[in-house]
Amino acid sequence: MPRRRRWVFFCLLFLVLGLGRGAIANQFEEVVERIADKWSLEPEFFLNSPAYKPYCIDNLLIYGFGSSPYLQIGINDLLYYSYSNPTVFFLPANHQGGRFFLYVFYHGLEPVTEIKLSLDNKSYTLIPQEPTAEYIYNAYLEKRPVWNSGLVLTINVEPGKRYLILEADNDDLLLAKVNFEEKNKPSLDSKAIADKPTPTTTEINKPEGGLVLITPKTAEAWLRYTNTKLGFSLTYPKDWSYKEGVEQSLLDLWPPKGEKKVIVSRDQLLSKSLLEFVQQMENIVGMKTITRNVLPGGRILQSAEVTIGEMVFCLDILYAEANNYAYTVTAIAPKQYKNDYQSEINDILLSFSAF
């Protein structure tokens, strides 16, 4: 190609690419403005839609342009959203200004030195710190952040501002505690915590507080834990202990000695089937499934392994569905302890019921 013609070609190419980027940017702005108009004039369109309702919280609409922000629910109904590049937070109509808060975690598998973020053109730097083995042991299977620590993003919002845009140079982020405190109005999040009722459960080592069961394999008295607010129940040996609300699990159970632990967690199914949820969790957590069986009533029983760093964990998992929630009951232990309390683990998993 002659030099002059080549020069003209590259100039035209540069111009076309530049116009293309500008057109994409303009199209993004137009879509954001249209959604802002709809949210301001017809919020019920989003609030009454199964597709959008999970992303409406405290008069905010969370919208992801890379993909829908995957929603998870942890202890005390704390909501987590996966970051979508970019994520836009649409604010209440006719608000009088206030302060916007957001908690950001890194939850990728690869070490990173820092993550650059921008919220409404205000810059932040998140520096993830690798967690301890104990932190991983307690939290990784709960599909929660496996890196410490998170970063609080906060920004003053002028009256009438319609939306805020969050951008990051890494997509492996979880968002939590999304909150907009409007001037002269109490925080809805604070009020919800203050009004939260105490769940009804049995007490540790108090058989009179719950139903005593006799299991065929152990012939010993077992206790029943029931949580009416979170909608589940299970039995456990009388010499085991439990604690509610550890990290983001609903309940943790552990034996008098050893490394075994049972974790109960809950996530919204949205429009997924229970099997689709199981398959999605396998991909998110990186599990290697050894066996998977569908039980009567649609529950799913699975054994699997997962590797985090140099540690290999063995898992026995029961999945159950109720009220559009997927309940996950996971017995977890380092591989060298996988056979500890196996008979008791089987009974605990099979005793679980969601309602």
pLDDT in tens, the chain (355 residues): 444 443 333 333 333 334 344 444 567 788 899 999 999 999 999 888 887 888 888 789 998 876 655 665 544 455 678 888 889 999 998 898 988 988 887 777 677 888 999 998 888 888 876 655 555 555 544 444 444 556 778 888 999 899 999 999 988 888 877 888 887 665 444 333 333 333 333 222 322 333 333 333 443 568 888 888 888 989 899 899 998 876 668 999 999 988 889 999 888 887 789 999 898 888 777 788 999 998 877 899 999 998 876 788 899 999 999 988 999 999 998 899 889 998 899 889 988 888 7
User: Which of 75, 133, 204, 142 minimizes the C-alpha distance to 329?
Assistant: 142
pLDDT in tens, 123-153: 888 887 665 555 555 554 444 444 455 677 8
Round to whole Å and give the CA distance between 254 and 54: 33
The pair of structure tokens assigned to 63 is 């919208």
Query: Measured between alpha carbons, how far is 33 from 48 in angstroms, rounded to an integer?
Result: 21
Whole-angstrom distance, CA of residue 50 vs CA of residue 90: 18
Nearest CA to 179 among 195, 196, 192? 192
The β-bridge partners of 266 are: 327
Q: Name which of 266, 256, 248 is nearest 205 in CA terms.
A: 256
> Rounded CA gap, 246 and 264, in Å?
10
Cα separation of 169 and 164, whole Å? 17
Tokens of 136: 């991983």
Residue 39 phi/psi, 5-degree rounding, is: -65, -35
- This prediction has a pTM of 0.47
Residue in 247, 100, 246, 99 with CA at minimum distance from that of residue 166: 100
User: Apex CA 354: angle with CA 348 and CA 355, to 5°?
Assistant: 145
Q: Which residues, 6 or more positions from 191, have their beta carbon under 8 angstroms from its beta carbon?
A: none
Q: Which of 316, 320, 318 is nearest to 304 (CA)?
A: 316
Return the H-helix or E-strand segment holding 12. helix 3-41
Question: Phi first, then psi: what are they for 345, rounded to 5°?
Answer: -60, -45
